[in-house]
Homo-oligomer: A and B are copies of this chain.
Amino acid sequence: MRTKKEGNQTVVFENSPHIIATNAIAGSKESEGPLGGQFDETVSDDLWGEASWEKAESKFMQQTVLSALKKSNLHPADIDYIFAGDLLNQCASTNYGIRVFSIPFIGLYGACSTMGLSMKMAAMAIDGGFADSCVAVTSSHFCSAERQFRFPLEYGGQRPPSAQWTVTGSACVILDKDRGDLKVECATTGKIVDRGITDANNMGAAMAPAAIDCLCAHFADTGRKPSDYDAIFTGDLGKIGKSIVVDQMGENGYDMSENYTDCGVLIFDESQDVHSGASGCACSGLVLCSHIIPKLQSGEFKKVLFVPTGALMSTTAVQQGESIPSIAHAISIMS
């Protein structure tokens, strides 16, 4: 048992697990954005023929996993573990979406950091010798998230400029011990960071400190600097959170002005009236599968740092006067 630890929060995989297939299915508003043409599938009816938004979100996840399995020529019985989670209470869209597959299941809660958390845990399972093939998947849905975390949609509340728009969709990555061109090379696990933000409509400000903490840990642990990557993506900080990251990373001695952007600013454009940008578990997931990974496959990128962020927000806790704890997880993906 040779230790794979590097520094305090990072592990470098001994036999980097491979990415064998990805799939991304997005909703209608997402299909009209800048990445609209790059999703594997888009669905014009956000209910997708289901009786509720929650059931629709489960269908997004189920169909995304099915399509990813098909692309990888794997069946559910070939998968050792499915690592999954979402934003709904009790991760309901996950539990109902994947129950049909009968795959050993590791339930995760990382809010919007789940794409990174699930891929990291899948990579650890494979590199640790516990699995050959794993599914990492997450989902979010504007309508189910809005009514759970904020207001009934029918209320039509005005959204402040700092608000972000929860992405409707699901993204899935299948990792494999041997097959696949891209590799998950290392991962930095975040700590819970809480800088006292209490505004459920300012997730970027709540999550940016967690992204900064994770990025600084990653660079300190590995001795790397931002320019060692072709591109760095946080997600889903939006415009406000992204500018906080650039400013404060600069103060910490890391120049993020050249090759850094945030998944939350890529999905929608200004005309779509989403204010500070996109959020939700599917935000970084869709950008990963439809934008980042294709550029790694085409050779435009050789090495990318992917840092999804999650606001661990509980409406009960916020109503009790609590601030919003956040987390980020970084994974390095290379061709």
Contacts and interface: CB of A to CB of B under 8 A. Distances in A.
Interface stretch (A63-71, A125-133, A230-238, A253-261): A125-133
B52 A320 contact: yes
A102 B217 CA distance: 12
Max count, chain B CB within 10 A of own CB: residue among A95, A103, A106, A189: A95
A90 interface: yes
Contacts of A92: 312, 314, 316-317
B191 A105 contact: yes
Contacts of A143: none
A308 interface: no
A71 to B, nearest CB: 23
A3 interface: yes
B109 A107 contact: yes
B104 A189 contact: yes
Interface size class of A (residues with CB under 8 A): 35 or more
A227 interface: no
A90 B106 contact: no
A150 interface: no
A313 B6 CA distance: 39
A306 interface: no
A98 interface: yes
Interface in A117-148: 117, 121, 124-125, 127-132, 148
A91 interface: yes
Interface string A146-186: 00100000000000000000000000000001000000000
A124 B127 contact: no
Contact of A90 (B9, B89, B117): B89
Interface stretch (A80-88, A265-273, A280-288): A80-88
Interface string A313-335: 11111001010010100000000
B108 A108 contact: yes
A131 B3 CA distance: 7
A194 B23 CA distance: 26
A193 to B, nearest CB: 8
Interface of A: 1-5, 8-9, 11, 14-15, 51-52, 54-55, 80-81, 85, 88-92, 95-96, 98-99, 102-111, 117, 121, 124-125, 127-132, 148, 177, 189-194, 312-317, 320, 322, 325, 327
19 contacts: A1-B14, A1-B15, A4-B128, A4-B129, A5-B80, A8-B104, A11-B130, A81-B189, A88-B314, A89-B90, A90-B312, A91-B109, A92-B312, A92-B317, A95-B325, A99-B193, A99-B325, A107-B109, A124-B128
